[in-house]
Amino acid sequence: MKNRPFPPTLPEFINDCRAAEAWFPEYGRKNEAPPPERSRERAEQLERAVKEIGKGQPDPLAWAKHVKSQAAVRLMRDGMQRGNQRLSRIYAVHVQNGVISANGKLLKAAA
């Protein structure tokens, strides 16, 4: 906090910050732990979230089964051309249900 011709060096800056805490205690360090009841509440909230995430098995073909864009249709057609039978079956179901036209245009996007 001295008048200097240049900005302080790192050690000078740290010392100035520590000295400022004595002059302005309301702006001091705020690294206090939350009360125990808030910590328990947060831990329980995190546990519930983790359990919710872990439910069920993710479906790697959900994007194809619930097609939402023309880009997804293009990816399905590319996969079909490469011989992916699962994508071929999904595509056929979409054509049968009127979601995709026979020439590959998306008619109804999944909600």
User: In this structure, is residue 24 part of a structural domain?
Assistant: no
pLDDT in tens, 49-78: 888 877 777 788 999 999 999 999 999 999
CA distance 66 to 101: 15
Residue 46 lies in a domain: no
Looking at residues 24-45, what average pLDDT do you find? 73
- Predicted model pTM: 0.50
Which residue range(s) make up the domain with 66? 60-111
Residue 81 lies in a domain: yes
Residues 6+ apart with CB under 8 A from 60: none
Structural domain count of the chain: 1
> Would you say residue 107 lies in a domain?
yes
Three-class SS state of 29: coil
Query: Tell me: the pLDDT tens digits for 74-105?
Result: 999 999 999 999 999 999 999 999 999 989 99
Q: Which two tokens stand for residue 89?
A: 């079956």
- Residue 99 dihedral angles phi and psi, to the nearest 5°: -85, -40
In a domain, 19, yes or no: no
Question: Going by C-beta distance under 8 Å and a sequence separation of 6 or more, which residues neighbour residue 90?
Answer: 61, 64, 65, 76
8: in domain = no
Separation of alpha carbons 92 and 83, rounded Å = 14
Q: Which pLDDT does position 10 carry in this prediction?
A: 92
CB 78 within 8 Å of CB 51: no
